Structure 1
Amino acid sequence: MRFQQLSELLDYVANCHLDMEKLYKRLDNNADSSRVKMMLDYFQQHQRHTYETLERYIEGAPLRILNTWYKDITFEDFSKRCAETMLPANMDEEAVLELHLDLENRLIALVEKTAMSSPTEEIKNTLMDLVRVTKTQQHRLVLSTLRMDDI
């Protein structure tokens, strides 16, 4: 996937979270463990929330930022990756968390790469703020997931 404007990239990242939500729903339908199902349900909710938050940001962001043009920002077919990802029915919590972190870190890396290619400090800082928020949420999600082990 090739991006030319920041608005395209942000919309793509938002939709990638919907792809992750679909993946977790599919895995949830196939999972044997009730603990894994609980975790996948939590991840689905998190992905929906992240998608909605990004969409609200895009709606309210200044056009001068959203209309920023980039050269050579490319990314894998994330939707395809999510659609083709399979875990066995006996998957455990660690495998699910590992998958989630891998997928989310790919999206974080895309936003970081875009930030480093930004033409202005304002846009770079805006994108790096998004990265920081995402990493903080990721950290909280991991902590919440680890707390599930205590249940």
Structure 2
Amino acid sequence: MSDNRLTKGQAAPDFTAATDTGTFTLSDHRGEHVILYFYPAAMTPGCTTEACDFRDSLDALNAAGYTVVGISKDSPAKLAQFREQEGLTFTLVSDEDKSIQEAYAAWGEKNNYGRTVVGSIRSTVVVDPEGAVELAQYNVKATGHVAKLRRDLGIA
């Protein structure tokens, strides 16, 4: 569990992880802007809303040079089911051991309906083409987050 939130300019922790279609390595995407968004669980209402918002904004994000990657503790099989069910066309990374979420401070204590629990913290980290953190947002809301992120990045 990590309280060490990433800040602009820090090196983004590199990782290689399973996806529902193979593997993803962050450092393979040097030269691109990469949006890593962390969500608690596939096929839950809030996570589905957020994933569909990214799906619906993907053309604009890709046109502005951004690659979108969703990361959760779900298995590759569950991610494949999520992709199929919602028509998702971006990479979905499986972080079953939570090591990526811990490296990005997206796993830890959070308030859930008035109770403190340990789990995935809905977060988004944008990695610049050199592999440094361009933007880090924690405890984001599922609804409206993608629109706010687009505004923050200057993407119409």
TM-score tier, shorter chain, comes to 0.3 to 0.5
Structure with more relative contact order (C-alpha pairs < 8 Å, separation 6 or more)? 2
TM-score where L is the length of structure 2: 0.32
TM-score where L is the length of structure 1: 0.32
The structure that has the greater radius of gyration is 1
More helix by share: 1
